[in-house]
Amino acid sequence: MYKLDLPVEVKDVAAIERLRNKEQQRQSRIFNAKFRTIGVDVAALEKQVDERKTIERTEKAREEAFDADREQCDIIALMLEQREQELSRELDQAVLNYRAQNQKAETRREFDLYDPDARKKDRPARVCDDDPRCGPASLQKFDGEDLNEKKRRALQTDTTKQWLTGQIDERKRSESQQIYADNLHDRKRVELDERAQHLSKMEEECRKAVNMATNNFNQALAMESSERRRLQKQLEEDNNFAEIYNHLTGDILTENPAVAVSAFGSHRVVPDRWKGMSPEQLKTIIDIQKQQCQEKQRLKEEEKRWNTECDRQRTLAARAAMSLEQQEQEFNKEMRKRMDGYNQQLGREQRAHLEYLDNVVYANNPTAHYHGQFNTTSR
């Protein structure tokens, strides 16, 4: 009734073939990595490269900081190991000294059993003929006789029990002492570790404070020294100018005729009649000497004041160093508490993020069918 074998029109066949050829050409262009330029975001790629470089620089700085911390921890661990070895040697030496002083062989309970001088210390069976231990026939013992066997055996049994009990008690006591010594050793080691860390921090902080105080003190000394040199130079120049002026206005250079009067004229000078300097000149010299003495006394007083000021500055620097050290300790304690809280918060956030990734983001893992649908068409 229906005609199903109708001929396909040529236009439709040509259109379908044209579309197929166009799709093949498009695929050849898109799948060729050499000529494909469609969909490339150069700015985004450059931004990704910059971000990657920033991350690498951050990681490098972080690794360098970790390396510095690791070196510091290695130095501290080496110091602590050396101190622990010293303490172990001291403890072993103390144990050896204790054994040599209080645990000698002759003080042991069972020493009489293996005493090498037991025969020398033991009483002989017979001292003399009148020894009361000897019987009527002067015989000490007959073969096969043991009259006190029961008492002897009971005494030996009691003695053995006492020895065993004493040995058990001694062993328990030694074990408890060993446990107590081990606990003390562990506590001491922990305390020494904490003290080493605390001392290293205190040493570093004290060194910084001392360096700061030393720099301030050296600057003050330099300023004082430069001021003193300036004053000394100015005083020396004033003295030189005064000396030059005195020489220029003195009687020697001006050739005062009153110094020596000659009978042949006032222009002649008689050296053998010169009586020396005038009283005014002597008074001037004495005044200058007094001024020099006063100046020397003043310099001594200034030096004394300077030494007192230096002592006061050193005392203030020491007090400032102690104050800075206390403030630094409190600051380090607060920073340690904040860092612990921050680390705990980071740990919780990381665990929550990992749980979110495992349970939400990566819950649906892709299969081979998902990857196989890519690169099958150009659209």
- Whole-angstrom distance, CA of residue 278 vs CA of residue 263: 21
- pLDDT tens digits, one per residue of 235-265: 888 888 888 877 667 655 555 555 566 667 6
Residue 379 lies in a domain: no
The number of angstroms, rounded, from the C-alpha of 203 to the middle of its chain's C-alpha atoms is: 7
Residue 321 lies in a domain: yes
- pLDDT tens digits, one per residue of 183-219: 888 888 888 888 888 888 888 888 888 888 888 888 8
pTM score, whole prediction: 0.22
* Percent over 70 (pLDDT), the chain: 79
Tell me which H or E stretch contains 342: helix 279-356
Residue 9 lies in a domain: no
Lowest-confidence region among 140-154, 158-172, 327-341, 351-365: 140-154
Residue 327 lies in a domain: yes
Residue 287 lies in a domain: yes
At residue 118, the pLDDT reads 78
- Domain of 258 in residue numbering reads as 205-270+277-353
Average pLDDT, stretch 226-230? 86
Q: Is pLDDT above 60 for 7?
A: no
Residue 307 lies in a domain: yes
- Whole-angstrom distance, CA of residue 340 vs CA of residue 334: 10
Residue 152 lies in a domain: no
- pLDDT tens digits, one per residue of 289-335: 999 999 999 999 999 999 888 888 888 888 888 888 888 888 888 88
- Whole-angstrom distance, CA of residue 328 vs CA of residue 335: 10
Number of folded domains that form the chain: 1
Report CA-CA distances (Å) from 332 to 40, 67, 197, 198, 369. 52, 21, 12, 11, 58
Residue 288 lies in a domain: yes
Amino acid at the residue 329:
Q
The rounded mean pLDDT for the chain is 80
Average pLDDT, stretch 218-241? 86
Average pLDDT, stretch 58-73? 89
Q: Is pLDDT above 70 for 359?
A: yes
* Percent over 90 (pLDDT), the chain: 9
